[in-house]
Structure 1
Amino acid sequence: MPFYTASKNTFEVGGKEFPRITWYKEPGIRGLYVLLMLAVLTSATNGYDGSMMNGLQTLQEWKDSFNDPGPSTRGLLNAIMSVGSIVALPITPYIADIAGRRVGVMTGCIIMVIGVVLQSIGANIAMFIAARFLIGFGVAIAHGAAPLLIAELVHPQHRAIFTTIYNSTWYLGSIVAAWLTYGTNKIPSAWSWRVPSMVQAAPSIIQLIAIWLVPESPRYLISRGHNEKALHVLATAHAHGNIDDELVQIEYHEIRETITLEKEFEGNGWLQLFKTKGNRHRLVILISLGFFSQWSGNGLVSYYIGDVLKGIGITKSKEQLEINGILQIVNFAVALGMCFMIDKFGRRPLFLVATGGMLVSFCAWTICAARFHMTEVKSAANAEIAFIFIYYVFYNCAWSGLLVGYAVEILPYKLRAKGLTLMFLAVDLSLFFNSYVNPVALKALGWKYYIVYDVWLAFELLIVYLFYIETQNTALEEIVKYFDGEDALLGGNLATDKARTLLVENGIDTKLPITTEHHEVGENEEKRTAV
């Protein structure tokens, strides 16, 4: 496993070390990060939906408005959003790659606002279902562009932090929805559910107003031939507008040479994801990220916490909403805190600890549920609630933030949008399963259904151990070498040599002597140094 040898006060780009910066002391970076929080709102919108639907299903006014839907209908109401996302996925990467990352976010937001309007009107169950289909369609398009914009704009020192913050803000939306539905629970009319539904449009409206203040991705600009504009974006964002800054020049040349090489030697079609050993390795990680992030038992609580709590005797709507609201606050605190630990502990260790902890805590959760079913002892119910919280602490050590952050960074530019789309396809397929199957299975099997997830979590731990690699402290364009080898066409020594030739042909003086030396550190460890 590779590890970084530079001082903790430096970071590495293009084989050269730079002193670390404090983002809030740098006006350009500070302004950029404030703007990038607008892109982060896409994930918050998604989180709002899950918690809102959880809350609505506990509201009597919502049940009365739609004739108290049964498990199958409630499953469809939740699953149809995933169907909308799945339908949108084939066009999502093309919008991001051809029209741009910002256009992708804008397009998704417009569709989501239309969906929320129809959902809030909700004259009948058919309209509610159609509205949620549109919301899912829009979420997929915005979700397929926003994390790319973030990863490709953020300062290299902060990439891991910011990309993990993106998906962690799922809980920010979830908190707002959980406590808003708790408050509107007291409204004795259909407004008790219409108000939370209307508020769901707020993040999208904010993004539509302000997304054009966010710079376009320099990688996208270079891929479309707008090199000078990309250089100025990098300079403004990372170096107070100084285009001659050494970091900016290295970033610019590295991005340009990588994209040039990809166009020269690599395909960018869907089949490219299957053609090489390195890409097949990426594919295993992407598919497992999508399924494991949703198929780990968390889907039971995300949309059906009411059914889970009913199984241990907690039937009052007020109590269910309180537990859900507190859980979302804990989730957000842990997930946000872990964003700042990614580069300290590394991706692979966090995935292993998170998945192992989830397995142990979910088994304990299952035992407590079985105990309550047999004895109806209150202490067993309390213990189950405690283990639900413990389970989520472990889940948020990795799976909430790194779901998007890890997926984005392991993909080369030309496959980044398509690979992320494929990961989201796995997410949406698993969400569809969770939404439609979980309420039916819980009603039919009760606590015994939890055993399925106990076994599945053990399988997840094995896959993570075998396939998830470390990418700690590596520039975005250089991560490719861990999948394709040091002599890979893109990212390794050969890429550097090829790039120099191409850059000379294009009249670019790189001034980037990059060499990677290997030393025996341990049985299976590789040491990375820059000279």
Structure 2
Amino acid sequence: MGKDTFELAGQQWPKVTWWKMKGMRFVYLTLWAAMITSATNGYDGSLMNGLEAMDSWNESYNHPTGSTLGLLAAAMSIGSMLSIPVVPYVADVFGRRAGVVTGCIIMLFGVALVSIGYHIALFVVGRIILGFGLGIAQLTDIDEKECSPLLVTELVHPQHRAIYSTIYNSLWYVGSLIGACVALGTNHIQGSEWSWRVPCLLQGIPSICQLIFIWTVPESPRWLISKGKLEQAKQVLAYVHAQGDENDALVNAEFDEIQQTIALEKEFEGNNWSEFWSTPGNRHRSIILISIGFFSQWSGNGIVSYFLPKVLALIGITNSNTVLTINLVLSAVNVVSATGICFFVDKIGRRKLFLTSSCAMLACYVSTTIALARFTLDKGGGNTNAANAVLVFIFLFYISYNIGYSGLLVSYSSEILPYRLRAKGLTIMFFCVDLSLWFNQYVNPIALLKIGWKYYIVYCVFLVFEIFVVWKYYVETKEIPLEEIVKMFDGDRAILGGAAASEKVNQLTGRNDSVGFDGEKAITTQVELR
């Protein structure tokens, strides 16, 4: 494959410069309205770290620790899990944009309850509602989680798919950075509950922005085709990828391949949950979806992401401004490292990034555990070198995590799934994310309170298991067109459009000719054969 070309439907196509194409430029600049959902979740993670460090918040809720603190943090994940049965159907029936809007409205109601909460129960209920709305906005964006990632994956030019879909989840850290800045600033509001209420209120701004600007983003061409809106789908493809030229060769190739693939899937495949364990290829996908969901939160990142003040307390750092400053710097480093790696996904490859990330995280976690032990076991806990080492390895750990799991969580999961299973497959992955988040957020503060630094050993062991699973099951999808990645899992049973579709129809119908494939003709032929 040349440097100035990319492959789609078995052909080489010239690369494009997005800012030189009017339609593509406009859509790419407005896609942030869909991608901002990820930043909303990142803001929440940083917000909880900030609130835990604020004296005013702790006084308002009687200094929560252990299981109470765990419930406060886990409430949002509980809400996300409750949304899971609803999300795929909202995304597939009403469209990606409608799902994002529905989720945003629910999130705003949750933000209101959290911000006015004078009792811990109201704070928890508000966060559950907030998580429920976020679950719909992402999954419909499902992610956090679906509509937004699906809309991004299915709308961008095939040349830019990897970068844009990877950036989506990396924006978690943009939200985290904003949350860290806000918490550090409002912490200086002395003697007022507004020091913690303001950060809570500001959590609703992304949802308001999405409600306004999401309508500037076109609907997914794949969703439109699946609903029979062929003319509208082609117009979207032409507008975004070819400056409105519906006769463009690439637009027609994309349109035909998507249409043919969906037609074949509807004709020869079902669309229910049992498909995920009915074939070897789908069982392989399920292993990846389930594992990547748990690995994204059980790699040890959950301790610092939501309980940084408790971790820093292990090395004697308790001053609120110091904790909030470290939180701010860590968020800034994460933004740079997570976003930067997005531009190397297609150069390095997914599998290599996952393996590198997991191995580097293990090295950092072992080093952190040793440093924590040295600091704690040292008489008086005054080992400054050990404390500084913990801080350094916290930063190195997150850089290592961002190499693989920050951006690739959504993009890789989307890539390995055929269209008919994409929404439900991401639902499975995000259910595992929410389940692992719920466990982390509830159990981590209890474990840190009871056994301190020894809890890190648990994650060291788990990271060894993680490396094995990634090495054994994760496949490389680098530079493979979205509609053709199915061949990596299903082999000769793969259903895809283009030239391969003709061969698939011949196999399934018993025909052996060289007639080109036509989606409607293939379906008609099947009816006649029955």
Regarding TM over 0.5, the answer is yes
| Match of residue 467 from structure 1 | 473
CA displacement, residues 17-42 of structure 1 (integer Å, 9 cap, x when unaligned): 11111111221111111111111100
CA displacement, residues 210-268 of structure 1 (integer Å, 9 cap, x when unaligned): 11111000000000000010000000010000000000000000000000000001111
The answer to whether residue 290 in structure 2 is matched with residue 287 in structure 1 is yes
CA displacement, residues 419-462 of structure 1 (integer Å, 9 cap, x when unaligned): 00110000000000111000000010010000000000000000
User: Given the alignment, which residue of 239, 256, 275 partners 1:272?
Assistant: 275
| Match of residue 29 from structure 1 | 24
Conservation of the 8 A alpha-carbon contact between 2:486 and 2:495: no
Conservation of the 8 A alpha-carbon contact between 1:286 and 1:423: yes
> Normalising by the residue count of structure 1, what TM-score does the alignment of the two structures yield?
0.93
| Secondary structure class of the residue paired with 1:474 | coil
CA displacement, residues 155-210 of structure 1 (integer Å, 9 cap, x when unaligned): 00000000000000000000000111011111120000000001100111000011
> Normalising by the residue count of structure 2, what TM-score does the alignment of the two structures yield?
0.93
| Match of residue 215 from structure 1 | 218
Cα root mean square deviation, aligned: 1.4
Conservation of the 8 A alpha-carbon contact between 2:261 and 2:495: no
What percentage of residue pairs aligned between the two structures are identical? 56
Distance (Å, rounded) in 1 between the aligned partners of 2:515 and 2:457: 58
| Match of residue 8 from structure 1 | 3
Distance (Å, rounded) in 2 between the aligned partners of 1:496 and 1:363: 53
| Match of residue 79 from structure 2 | 84
Distance (Å, rounded) in 1 between the aligned partners of 2:161 and 2:207: 24
Pairwise CA distance, 1:70: 2.2
The answer to whether residue 97 in structure 2 is matched with residue 67 in structure 1 is no
User: Given the alignment, which residue of 165, 168, 176 partners 2:170?
Assistant: 168
User: Given the alignment, which residue of 332, 337, 342 partners 1:334?
Assistant: 337
The answer to whether residue 510 in structure 2 is matched with residue 504 in structure 1 is no
Pairwise CA distance, 1:342: 0.2
| Secondary structure class of the residue paired with 1:271 | helix
| Match of residue 457 from structure 1 | 463
Distance (Å, rounded) in 2 between the aligned partners of 1:468 and 1:324: 32
The more displaced of 24-33 and 220-229 is 24-33
The answer to whether residue 398 in structure 2 is matched with residue 382 in structure 1 is no
Distance (Å, rounded) in 2 between the aligned partners of 1:476 and 1:86: 28
The code of the aligned residue for 1:147 comes to P
Conservation of the 8 A alpha-carbon contact between 1:120 and 1:194: yes
| Secondary structure class of the residue paired with 1:68 | coil
Runs of 4+ aligned structure 1 residues displaced above 6 Å come to none
The code of the aligned residue for 1:364 comes to S
The answer to whether residue 189 in structure 2 is matched with residue 187 in structure 1 is yes
Conservation of the 8 A alpha-carbon contact between 1:486 and 1:493: no
| Secondary structure class of the residue paired with 2:405 | coil
| Match of residue 144 from structure 2 | none
| Secondary structure class of the residue paired with 1:229 | helix
Q: Which has the higher helix share?
A: 2
Conservation of the 8 A alpha-carbon contact between 2:257 and 2:496: no
The code of the aligned residue for 2:186 comes to T
Q: How do residues 355-366 of structure 1 correspond to structure 2 at under 5 angstroms? A: 355-366=358-369
User: Given the alignment, which residue of 230, 233, 239 partners 1:230?
Assistant: 233
Q: Which runs of 5+ in 1 are unaligned?
A: 1-5, 509-531
User: Given the alignment, which residue of 98, 106, 109 partners 1:111?
Assistant: 106
| Match of residue 524 from structure 1 | none
> How many residues are paired up?
503
CA displacement, residues 286-309 of structure 1 (integer Å, 9 cap, x when unaligned): 001100000011000000000000
CA displacement, residues 32-65 of structure 1 (integer Å, 9 cap, x when unaligned): 1111111110000000001001100111111111
The code of the aligned residue for 1:271 comes to S
The code of the aligned residue for 2:374 comes to R
Distance (Å, rounded) in 1 between the aligned partners of 2:232 and 2:120: 49
The code of the aligned residue for 2:14 comes to P
Conservation of the 8 A alpha-carbon contact between 2:43 and 2:179: yes
Q: Which runs of 5+ in 2 are unaligned?
A: 140-146, 506-513, 523-530
Pairwise CA distance, 1:487: 4.7
User: Given the alignment, which residue of 129, 153, 156 partners 2:155?
Assistant: 153
The code of the aligned residue for 1:439 comes to P
| Secondary structure class of the residue paired with 1:63 | helix
| Match of residue 518 from structure 1 | none
Pairwise CA distance, 1:501: 6.3
Distance (Å, rounded) in 2 between the aligned partners of 1:52 and 1:285: 30
| Match of residue 140 from structure 1 | 135
Q: How do residues 349-360 of structure 1 correspond to structure 2 at under 5 angstroms? A: 349-360=352-363
Pairwise CA distance, 1:105: 0.6
Conservation of the 8 A alpha-carbon contact between 2:58 and 2:64: yes
Pairwise CA distance, 1:153: 0.3
Pairwise CA distance, 1:492: 9.3
| Match of residue 315 from structure 2 | 312
Conservation of the 8 A alpha-carbon contact between 1:487 and 1:493: no
Distance (Å, rounded) in 1 between the aligned partners of 2:518 and 2:62: 71
Pairwise CA distance, 1:503: 4.2
The answer to whether residue 257 in structure 2 is matched with residue 254 in structure 1 is yes
The more displaced of 280-289 and 491-500 is 491-500
Provide closer, same or farther for how the CA distance between residues 321 and 135 of structure 1 changes in structure 2, counting only shifts above 3 A.
Answer: same
Distance (Å, rounded) in 1 between the aligned partners of 2:97 and 2:159: 23
Conservation of the 8 A alpha-carbon contact between 2:260 and 2:497: no
Conservation of the 8 A alpha-carbon contact between 1:62 and 1:193: yes
Conservation of the 8 A alpha-carbon contact between 1:52 and 1:177: yes
